[in-house]
Structure 1
Amino acid sequence: MADLSTMKNVSFPIPSDEEWKEEVEKSLKGKPIEKLHSMTYEQLQLKPIYTRRDLQPLQLEQYPGFPSYVRGTEPNGYIGKPWAVSQELFAASPNEWNEIAKHDLARGQTEIHLVLDRLGFIVSSLDDLEEMFSGVSISDYSLRVDAGACSLSFLSLLVAYLQKQQIPLDTLRGTVGMDPLAALAEKGKLSISLSTLYDVMADVTKWAKEHMPHMKTIIVHSEPYHNGGANAVQELAFAFATAVEYMSECLERGLMIDEAAERISFSFAIGSNFFMEIAKLRAARLIWSRIVQAFGGNEQSQKIAIHARTSHFTKTVYDPYVNMLRATAEAFAAVVGGASSIHASPFDEAIQPADEFSRRIARNTQLILLEEAHIGKVIDPAGGSYYVETLTAQVAEEAWKLFQQIEAKGGMTKALEEGFVQAEVEKVAKLREQNVKMRKEKIVGTNFYANLAEPLAQQRSASEQPLDEVHGNEVNVTFSGISWMQTAVSFAQRRATAQDINAALATAGPSIPIQPIRQWRLAEPFEQLRQAAEHHLEKRGKRPTVHLINLGAIAHHKARADFITGFFEAGGFAVVKNDGYMSNDDAIKGALEAEGTHYIICGADESYPEAVPAIAKALKSANPPRNIYVAGKQPSEIETTFVQAGVDGFIHIASNCYETLVAFMKEMGVALDE
């Protein structure tokens, strides 16, 4: 027997591509290897294997930290500076938010993160900020504030607060950003004209350069497109078309390219396609570097700042603990892709505002990746991967093409007004929705492996106060247009409220309304069916029910009976089973005694020609007649025979699960619109 050193030096012959292909086709029993190819929502064809040959046409970067930054913007990756644990904090009041912030910052959160539109209360006055940040050393943490369409009112209140507390403005770091086009895409309208918002954006950016040099002032979100169903290519193209419009508007208002580009932070949603999401973030660095370089920006401006949010689109109301696994895989992809800061979704995000437990699990997801999995100690772990490098290049190329299409239309605003963006997103959304309904796209706990015994989550109420119901001190705020930021700060110091400032901005009139992008989650179609079934249970005392007619021994019917059970439980149906009937007479007798309305015959194909017509005819002649279905796809001539005997339909892997369940519910009198 060879010793270890000899074994280490043994070289195995490297099989050629043709030899590998021959072996694969043998295992496929003669089918071509192309059977293993798959198509993504980005219309990119994925191969079963990638080799060095796939990298030959690509110009790969050798080291992180160098243009075009595909491998990362920092030479040492996360080793010198880990990504920021940036969990969004929600509360019902400033005091509650303060308690939550102090609690979570003491337990591993490293960035203060709030989204004003989802905060749970309105930051209206200087008093609110004083209460929120009481006992919080704000200059010790980076700050991430998503201010929605306009950041002027919040930023001016923040500056007034800092000045009152005698905290130097230049010690603050992070982002207080505005993204009017994302708000327009999501809501369809803005209360302030885009022209005014761009005036404010440019002025705030100029002001921050002088007074808050470590603060970014613009956020570009991909979430409105992602949550509408967009693919990775569309997310990148729409985000960068938005960023280019923002930079162009700032340049027209007197800023230099580096002054504008360095103030932009990107926020990308991270979905469930693990390698696609890694490639998306790597491609984002390449595209941004190319864009800023084309504008004449320096190398520092070419370094993109990426915040990543695990996807809201992929989260579910039912079986919500599975969301922990989804968020973990998505956060893992964000880390491998090189995000600068990350928000991991609390598992109950689709149900209710996070509580202490769900916040802790989400926060610890990141801390485990950092402290226990040690992912941050590997610089660009995806670098050099034949698959990921190829996918990165493909995503970047396709996103660049779509970006150029938008530019040819006159930019992002024109593309939104024309409806181009909405139509492109909806095309992919319809395909996603169809795949979910057909169960080609599996959602564990929702359209697959539904748990009907799961207790419903008890939703906690949140006191959200509409903006127009909050009244301040009625300070008369007017802007001269000379310095938006300086004027707003002076009014904030005189106790003007956010509402006073926003009202003054709105005097120029609203933006042109557009068709908003439909915001939804993948699981919603089946969640609606589950809710309808539960309402039916509350009103009628039982769920909509189907009865199985299992034929023969368990081994003969189990596979199809299990398939049908999962199929109907995805819609909240009760499925009544049996151990198998050994004769047609027993099957007919058992079915009639069950007193159901809808029956599915489950058995082996060889038992069907003799059993199905007999059972169908007997149940159709009963009073009242039953609805009879057969599990499994049959040859067309056999199906014709079965239909003539009274069979109403066939349920199999190619059936549209959602539409079948809807049809059954309507026949059973289940209200689908409650």
Structure 2
Amino acid sequence: MSTNKLFSEFEPVSSKQWKQQIQFELKGADYNETLIWESPDGIKVKPFYHADETKDSMTSSKSANSFKILQKIFVHDIAKSNAKALDTLKRGAESIYFTIENENCVLAELMQNLPFESITYYFNLPFLSVSFCDQINEFALKNKVKCIILLDPIGQLAKEGNWFNTSNNDFDALNILASKETNGFININTQTYQNAGATSVQQLAYTLAHVNEYFNRILNLNQPITIEVAIGTNYFFEIAKLRALRLLFNTLAKEYNHNFDCTIIATPTKRNKTLYDYNVNMLRTTTECMAAILGGADEVANLAYDAIYHKDNEFGDRISRNQLLILKNESYFDKVNNPADGAYYIETLTEQLAEKALELFKDIEANGGLITQLIEGTIQRKINESAQKEQELFDTGKEVLIGTNKYPNQNDRMKNELELFPFVKQNARKTLITPIIEKRLAEKVEQERLAQEQ
């Protein structure tokens, strides 16, 4: 029997008919109060979505099955970082993300014996040096390797409270780089917004405003732009968030005749990760990586299950990379092209998130733009308000982290396992603005449990 004949035997059922049947099954309970819930962004989520209430399907501009497995490496010891890059590429990594401490790094030593063909190397620089960027570009041209520089003075201001140097000096340096041949040097690091507790709409609007500042301040920005995103716990919303991000970016870029699609690097959030019952973090990061893939991320860098309290270690890195390898090679995530296309729920969420984010973006621009609102403290205040609301949900048990505020194992002992300080660090220093503070939901509970350990 053909598929067409099979389905032609059934009469189509409209959304109105579905709703009437649901209302009947509720036996008098209110449909809206019982089955419709509202997200922190003010998006009302219905119990079902139907074709007759959904606009034409949006086709993703990025194939979900083309993502690369990205390995992040902090360069402290050049020889060890080089060896780690070689090893991780042999073990399944497809791109490398180096974070370089300072410009004393010798590129030839760091890149020694690494494969250049079909591998992308990202260089995240927590400092701003035109001469060092020139070295990277010269190395890339000479060796025919794809090297992408990641510089984000605005992200530096938001997270640390200060520019690299000064506002004028930082943008002068970026304009110098814009005049040179490069695979890209602008990075929009939006992870701080998510890790500090911003809602999905806020993250999208702040990202768009973040991008817009660079479009306005850098002349002839004709290179690709990279956007780093943290993926949260709300699975379908996070898929829609990435889809909306690419849609909004391309809409804005066209206004500036910028003809490059953005490169999205996605990493699981730290906000919902826990110190106790830490193995649950693997479940959280798996679903977050799945959302990143389905949302169309170009590069996915997983977060190790023990990242908040252990230093980088081979076991944690291997497990996190293997999670992505399983998704890519054993769960067929590399075979299906854009499975979210045409899903009424995700399509509707994408549209609603994009519309609300665009509205907030316009408000930010009408009030001076992102940098002005960071200096005034408006962005920090709005994120803090959203974070406090989410914290209250966690504290009252309405937002659940298994093993922490629900079903905790009181026999867990973590005091002797801490190699890193897993809580907000107090670092008194003079800053131009109040920095955006990243904070995990479980910190207060964990501090209390650590204090009670024998």
- Normalised TM-score (structure 2): 0.91
Aligned pair in 2 of structure 1 residues 333, 442: CA closer, same or farther (>3 Å)?
A: same
- Asked whether 1:445 is paired with 2:445, we answer no
Secondary structure of 2:218's aligned partner = helix
Map 1:306-321 → 2, pairs under 5 A: 306-321=264-279
What CA deviation, in whole Å up to 9, does each residue of 1:108-139 have, x standing for no partner? 101111234xxxxx344254x34432322346
Map 1:415-426 → 2, pairs under 5 A: 415-426=373-384
Contact kept? 2:119, 2:146, Cα under 8 Å? yes
CA distance in 2, matches of 1:132, 1:170: 14
- Asked whether 1:20 is paired with 2:3, we answer no
Q: Which amino acid in the other structure matches residue 144 of structure 1?
A: Y
Contact kept? 1:437, 1:525, Cα under 8 Å? no
- Asked whether 1:180 is paired with 2:153, we answer yes
Aligned pair in 2 of structure 1 residues 324, 435: CA closer, same or farther (>3 Å)?
A: same
Which residue of structure 2 aligns with residue 224 of structure 1?
192
What CA deviation, in whole Å up to 9, does each residue of 1:422-465 have, x standing for no partner? 11111110101100100100001111111122342624479xxx
Which residue of structure 2 aligns with residue 458 of structure 1?
417
Q: Which amino acid in the other structure matches residue 365 of structure 1?
A: Q
Q: Which amino acid in the other structure matches residue 434 of structure 2?
A: Q
Contact kept? 1:179, 1:221, Cα under 8 Å? yes
Aligned pair in 2 of structure 1 residues 153, 219: CA closer, same or farther (>3 Å)?
A: same
Map 1:470-481 → 2, pairs under 5 A: none
What CA deviation, in whole Å up to 9, does each residue of 1:296-317 have, x standing for no partner? 33xx32x222111111222111
Q: Which amino acid in the other structure matches residue 305 of structure 1?
A: T
Q: Which amino acid in the other structure matches residue 255 of structure 2?
A: A
Contact kept? 1:149, 1:179, Cα under 8 Å? no
Cα distance, 1:248 vs structure 2: 1.1
Which residue among 263, 268, 276 is the counterpart of 2:229? 268
- Asked whether 1:87 is paired with 2:55, we answer no
- Asked whether 1:287 is paired with 2:266, we answer no
Which residue of structure 2 aligns with residue 195 of structure 1?
168
Deviates more, 1:175-184 or 1:26-35: 26-35
Aligned pair in 2 of structure 1 residues 78, 439: CA closer, same or farther (>3 Å)?
A: closer
CA distance in 1, matches of 2:130, 2:431: 21
Cα distance, 1:385 vs structure 2: 0.9
Which residue of structure 1 aligns with residue 216 of structure 2?
248
CA distance in 2, matches of 1:78, 1:391: 18
- Asked whether 1:325 is paired with 2:325, we answer no
Which residue of structure 2 aligns with residue 527 of structure 1?
446
Which residue of structure 2 aligns with residue 45 of structure 1?
44
CA distance in 2, matches of 1:385, 1:45: 17
CA distance in 2, matches of 1:174, 1:131: 15
Cα distance, 1:354 vs structure 2: 2.8
- Asked whether 1:238 is paired with 2:206, we answer yes
Contact kept? 2:14, 2:52, Cα under 8 Å? no
Q: Which amino acid in the other structure matches residue 377 of structure 2?
A: G
Cα distance, 1:107 vs structure 2: 0.6
Contact kept? 1:274, 1:333, Cα under 8 Å? yes
Secondary structure of 1:376's aligned partner = coil
Secondary structure of 2:352's aligned partner = helix
Contact kept? 2:64, 2:293, Cα under 8 Å? no
Aligned pair in 2 of structure 1 residues 512, 248: CA closer, same or farther (>3 Å)?
A: farther
CA distance in 2, matches of 1:341, 1:5: 37
CA distance in 2, matches of 1:155, 1:5: 58
Contact kept? 1:315, 1:349, Cα under 8 Å? no
What CA deviation, in whole Å up to 9, does each residue of 1:11-63 have, x standing for no partner? 233444344334323443311111211111211111111111331xx3544xx
Secondary structure of 2:121's aligned partner = strand
Which residue of structure 2 aligns with residue 499 of structure 1?
none
Q: Which amino acid in the other structure matches residue 518 of structure 1?
A: I
CA distance in 1, matches of 2:53, 2:13: 16
CA distance in 2, matches of 1:59, 1:18: 19
Cα distance, 1:220 vs structure 2: 0.3
Map 1:516-595 → 2, pairs under 5 A: 516-534=435-453, 538=454
CA distance in 2, matches of 1:5, 1:102: 50
Which residue among 386, 389, 392 is the counterpart of 1:434? 392
Secondary structure of 1:388's aligned partner = helix
Contact kept? 1:25, 1:33, Cα under 8 Å? yes
CA distance in 1, matches of 2:231, 2:401: 16
Which residue of structure 2 aligns with residue 54 of structure 1?
53
Aligned pair in 2 of structure 1 residues 249, 149: CA closer, same or farther (>3 Å)?
A: farther
CA distance in 1, matches of 2:370, 2:205: 10
Contact kept? 1:87, 1:113, Cα under 8 Å? yes
Map 1:293-442 → 2, pairs under 5 A: 293-297=254-258, 300-301=259-260, 303-442=261-400
Cα distance, 1:353 vs structure 2: 2.1
Q: Which amino acid in the other structure matches residue 400 of structure 2?
A: K
CA distance in 1, matches of 2:137, 2:154: 25
| Higher RCO, Cα 8 Å, sep 6+ | 2
Secondary structure of 2:276's aligned partner = coil
CA distance in 1, matches of 2:342, 2:2: 29
Contact kept? 1:216, 1:264, Cα under 8 Å? yes
CA distance in 1, matches of 2:216, 2:268: 30
Aligned pair in 2 of structure 1 residues 397, 124: CA closer, same or farther (>3 Å)?
A: same
Secondary structure of 1:87's aligned partner = strand
Instruction: Give the structure with higher Rg (CA).
Output: 1
Cα distance, 1:226 vs structure 2: 0.7
Cα distance, 1:406 vs structure 2: 1.1
- Asked whether 1:135 is paired with 2:113, we answer yes
Secondary structure of 1:90's aligned partner = strand
Secondary structure of 2:406's aligned partner = coil
What CA deviation, in whole Å up to 9, does each residue of 1:235-286 have, x standing for no partner? 11111111111111112xxx2x5x1xx3311111111111111111111121
Aligned pair in 2 of structure 1 residues 396, 78: CA closer, same or farther (>3 Å)?
A: closer
CA distance in 1, matches of 2:116, 2:153: 26
Aligned pair in 2 of structure 1 residues 170, 220: CA closer, same or farther (>3 Å)?
A: farther
Which residue of structure 2 aligns with residue 72 of structure 1?
61
- Asked whether 1:205 is paired with 2:173, we answer no
What CA deviation, in whole Å up to 9, does each residue of 1:192-244 have, x standing for no partner? 1011111111111222x2xx3xx210000111111110011111111111111
Q: Which amino acid in the other structure matches residue 158 of structure 1?
A: I
Secondary structure of 2:47's aligned partner = coil
Q: Which amino acid in the other structure matches residue 46 of structure 2?
A: K
Secondary structure of 2:203's aligned partner = helix
CA distance in 2, matches of 1:409, 1:219: 24
Cα distance, 1:172 vs structure 2: 2.6
What CA deviation, in whole Å up to 9, does each residue of 1:342-387 have, x standing for no partner? 1111111111223111111111111111111112222211111111
Cα distance, 1:175 vs structure 2: 1.9
Which residue of structure 1 aligns with residue 426 of structure 2?
none
Secondary structure of 2:417's aligned partner = coil
Contact kept? 1:265, 1:305, Cα under 8 Å? yes
Which residue of structure 1 aligns with residue 91 of structure 2?
107
Aligned pair in 2 of structure 1 residues 135, 296: CA closer, same or farther (>3 Å)?
A: closer
Secondary structure of 2:440's aligned partner = coil
Which residue of structure 2 aligns with residue 467 of structure 1?
none
Flag structure 1 segments of 5+ consecutive residues without an equivalent. Answer: 65-70, 117-121, 463-510, 539-674
What CA deviation, in whole Å up to 9, does each residue of 1:601-645 have, x standing for no partner? xxxxxxxxxxxxxxxxxxxxxxxxxxxxxxxxxxxxxxxxxxxxx
Which residue of structure 2 aligns with residue 620 of structure 1?
none
Cα distance, 1:518 vs structure 2: 1.8
Which residue of structure 2 aligns with residue 483 of structure 1?
none
- Normalised TM-score (structure 1): 0.62
CA distance in 2, matches of 1:6, 1:394: 33
Which residue among 136, 147, 170 is the counterpart of 2:125? 147
Cα distance, 1:156 vs structure 2: 4.0
What CA deviation, in whole Å up to 9, does each residue of 1:390-445 have, x standing for no partner? 11000000010111111111211101111111111111101011001001000011
Secondary structure of 1:269's aligned partner = strand
Contact kept? 1:280, 1:395, Cα under 8 Å? yes
